[in-house]
Amino acid sequence: MDLPYRDADLQLPPPAPLHFRYDQFEPHTDFGLHRHPWGQLNRISLGLIELEVDGSKLTAPADYLVWVPADLPHAAYVRLAMAYTSVYVDDALAARLPAGPCLIQQTPVVRALLEDFCQRRVTAMAGDWDVRQAELLVEHLVRAGAEDSYLPESADRQLAPILHAIRLDPADATTLAQWAEQVHSTERTLARRFQRELGMSFVQWRNRVRLLQALAWLKEGWPVQEIAARLSYGTASAFIAMFRKQIGFSPERYRRQLRGEA
């Protein structure tokens, strides 16, 4: 599809090797189909980022970056008010990143390098130090690995009914051993299939489903204790620990950010 570039992109200098752009989006902001002349890393401050690329939806929480190669048409939707950073990548460094759209987790080093750029409000690289930091950032992005989806699917005959059931009811507390009985398998076999098909364990996949539901309920104002109970966590502290691991901070801090508080 031959989409014209947006004026906002055409007015920018080419990344050398990175160029940062900062925005503050209002809730329910919709970006129709568009493309960029350079590869783009999308970073948000909280909530979820949702992009539609090639008919598929890429959804990820704020501890992930979404990578979109140059000239690839995509659309985006912002549900919450949030700070947003777009990082354009020149062709040489982009060639080291995946050839297709994907999610890249912000490891502690990746997050620290990005935070330094963002706190200094860097746009174009100011000198050799910034260039070296940009190259180091991309090196760590390569090492962080890529994921096709935050919630990958599988057509495996034993996994598919389990994934479907958990999506319908994130609070489902059925254990992997109990699922194994239901799908006429063994716990060890199912564990291997989760790792092979989805790249993560049964508990990790279920926690991601629960996190997405928790984010929606926090937005609606539900108390943390009630969310924990409704998602089948034995204690609120267990739920908070999962949330911190996935998002990087507590549910209450997330709620304060939703309200625009510090």
83 and 29 fall within a common domain = yes
The pLDDT tens digits for 22-70 are 998 877 778 889 999 999 999 987 777 788 888 777 878 888 999 999 9
Whether this model's pTM surpasses 0.85? no
For the chain, what percent of residues have pLDDT higher than 70? 97
The pLDDT tens digits for 163-174 are 999 989 999 999
CA distance 168 to 165: 5
105 and 216 fall within a common domain = no
Computed on alpha carbons and rounded to an integer, the radius of gyration of the chain in Å comes to 20
User: Considering 93, 115, 144, which residue would you say is the last residue of a domain?
Assistant: 144
CA angle 99, 35, 12 (to 5 degrees): 105
Q: Is residue 114 part of a domain?
A: yes
Q: What is the pLDDT of residue 188?
A: 96
82 and 194 fall within a common domain = no
Lowest mean pLDDT among 78-82, 122-126, 164-168: 78-82
Residues of the domain holding 237: 159-258
The token pair that represents 35 in the structure block: 């493309």
Residue 209 reports pLDDT greater than 80: yes
Lowest mean pLDDT among 40-54, 87-101, 228-242: 40-54
180 and 111 fall within a common domain = no
Lowest mean pLDDT among 8-12, 51-55, 63-67, 199-203: 51-55
Which CATH number goes with the domain that contains 22? 2.60.120.810
